[in-house]
């Protein structure tokens, strides 16, 4: 029997689902609040971190916190139904219980982004982790220069946060550029992969940082385009996904060349990623 007072790091805290919003054809955003009132009020996290989200008896999955730390009292997770745990979470409704442990991982370097032009470049559900930082920036708008959000998805039905894209568009000094691989009849924006947007709008490296998230292949081509536009490796920031178990640097599942994505990441600069051995095929 353990006689120390330390809490077992694997034990999650109970939370209640406050609302469920369908975002795209296969993703939903869950707004949750810790059941313990003190924890709900005092809980702190940073933009870019993730939590292990679980249903008792089913399992747990690492999920990025998509809400912004600037909006307090609740947490939001945008989840794609893709297997055992995420399908079970999708079956939950308002008032049901979810269990959370975390927050885990590093975060987007907010202080370093202040005073910079920001390019947010996302593919599909990759907008979820960026949304946390985007809303942090929007809530402290004067601390940052021009913001461009370039967002691509397979079809209009795959786009997440449609309402919020409209809100961001109307914020001064903020542009939103959208593209899809396969449009529907009503589609009025660009067609093609997200790098096609380079033809529609300028992407300048001066005093700028690009923050990228999406499937590995998308990150790879976006990084190439950013490099071609003159961005230095340190000014390209990305958030990576790896198979995870513990989320706390113990099991080794997320190891890339001696780095643990769960504790050293998930946020890395391109400079860090390009130092990984080629055989790791990170992007």
Ligand X SMILES: Cc1cc2nc3c(=O)[nH]c(=O)nc-3n(C[C@H](O)[C@H](O)[C@H](O)COP(=O)(O)OP(=O)(O)OC[C@H]3O[C@@H](n4cnc5c(N)ncnc54)[C@H](O)[C@@H]3O)c2cc1C
Catalog residues that contact ligand FES under the rule CB under 6 A.
244-247, 249-254, 260, 262
Q: Using CB positions, name the residue nearest to ligand X.
A: 83
Give the separation between CA 279 and CA 276, rounded to whole angstroms: 8
User: What is the number of alpha carbons within 13 Å of residue 197 lying toward its C-beta?
Assistant: 27
Q: How far is the CB of 10 from ligand X (least distance, A)?
A: 16
CB within 8 Å of 222: residues ≥ 6 apart: 121, 123, 194, 195, 210, 212, 214
Q: Which value, in Å, is the radius of gyration of the alpha carbons in the chain?
A: 19
Residues 108-147: x where in contact with ligand X by CB under 6 A, - otherwise, as a string? -----------------x--x-------------------
CB neighbours of residue 269 within 10 Å:
17
User: Which region, judged by CB under 6 A, interacts with ligand X, from 4-12, 57-65, 199-207, 215-223?
Assistant: 57-65
Could you say which of 23, 30, 46, 62 contacts ligand X (CB under 6 A)? 62
Tell me whether residue 105 or residue 152 sits nearer to ligand FES (CB atom).
105
Q: Are 49 and 65 in contact (CB under 8 A)?
A: yes
User: Which region, judged by CB under 6 A, interacts with ligand X, from 77-85, 166-174, 197-205, 207-215?
Assistant: 77-85
CB within 8 Å of 161: residues ≥ 6 apart: 23, 29, 78, 127, 131
Tell me whether residue 132 or residue 190 sits nearer to ligand X (CB atom).
132
User: Which region, judged by CB under 6 A, interacts with ligand X, from 169-177, 180-188, 242-250, 267-275?
Assistant: 242-250
Tell me whether residue 209 or residue 244 sits nearer to ligand FES (CB atom).
244
Q: What b-and-e string marks burial along 140-171, b requiring 16 or more CB atoms within 10 Å of the CB? A: eeeebeebbbbbbbeebebbbbeebeeebeee
Q: How far is the CB of 26 from ligand X (least distance, A)?
A: 9
The DSSP H or E segment spanning 102 is strand 97-104
Tell me whether residue 28 or residue 148 sits nearer to ligand X (CB atom).
28
Q: How far is the CB of 174 from ligand X (least distance, A)?
A: 23
Tell me whether residue 43 or residue 50 sits nearer to ligand X (CB atom).
50
Q: How far is the CB of 257 from ligand X (least distance, A)?
A: 17
Beta-sheet pairing, 208-213 with 117-123? parallel
Tell me whether residue 42 or residue 82 sits nearer to ligand X (CB atom).
82
Q: How far is the CB of 266 from ligand FES (least distance, A)?
A: 10
Residue 34 DSSP class: E
Q: How far is the CB of 23 from ligand FES (least distance, A)?
A: 26
CB neighbours of residue 114 within 10 Å:
13
Q: Are 53 and 64 in contact (CB under 8 A)?
A: no
* Contact residues: ligand X, CB under 6 A: 50, 59, 61-64, 78-80, 82-86, 125, 128, 241-244, 266
């Amino acid at each position: 029997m353990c006689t120390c007072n330390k809490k077992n790091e694997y034990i999650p805290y109970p939370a209640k689902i406050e609302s469920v919003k369908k975002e795209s054809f296969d993703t939903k955003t869950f707004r949750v609040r810790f059941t313990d009132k003190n924890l709900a009020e005092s809980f702190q996290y940073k933009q870019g971190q993730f939590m292990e989200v679980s249903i008792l008896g089913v399992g747990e999955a690492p999920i990025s916190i998509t809400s912004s730390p600037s909006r307090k009292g609740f947490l939001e997770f945008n989840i794609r139904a893709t297997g055992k745990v995420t399908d079970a979470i999708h079956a939950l409704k308002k008032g049901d219980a979810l269990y959370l442990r975390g927050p885990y991982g590093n975060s987007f370097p907010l202080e370093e982004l202040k005073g910079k032009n920001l390019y947010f470049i996302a593919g599909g559900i990759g907008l979820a982790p960026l949304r946390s930082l985007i809303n942090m920036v929007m809530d402290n708008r004067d601390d940052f220069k021009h913001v461009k959000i370039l967002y691509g998805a397979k079809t209009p039905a795959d786009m997440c946060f449609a309402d919020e894209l409209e809100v961001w568009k109307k914020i001064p000094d903020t542009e939103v550029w959208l593209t899809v691989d396969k449009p529907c009849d009503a589609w009025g924006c660009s067609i093609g992969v997200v790098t096609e947007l380079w033809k529609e709008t300028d992407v300048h490296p001066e005093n700028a940082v690009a923050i990228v998230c999406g499937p590995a292949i998308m990150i790879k081509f976006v990084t190439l385009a950013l490099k071609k536009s003159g961005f230095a490796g340190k000014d390209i920031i990305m958030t990576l996904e790896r198979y995870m178990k513990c989320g706390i640097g113990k099991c080794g599942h997320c190891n890339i060349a001696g780095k643990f994505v769960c504790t050293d990441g998930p946020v890395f600069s391109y400079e860090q990623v390009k130092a990984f051995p080629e055989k790791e095929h990170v992007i």
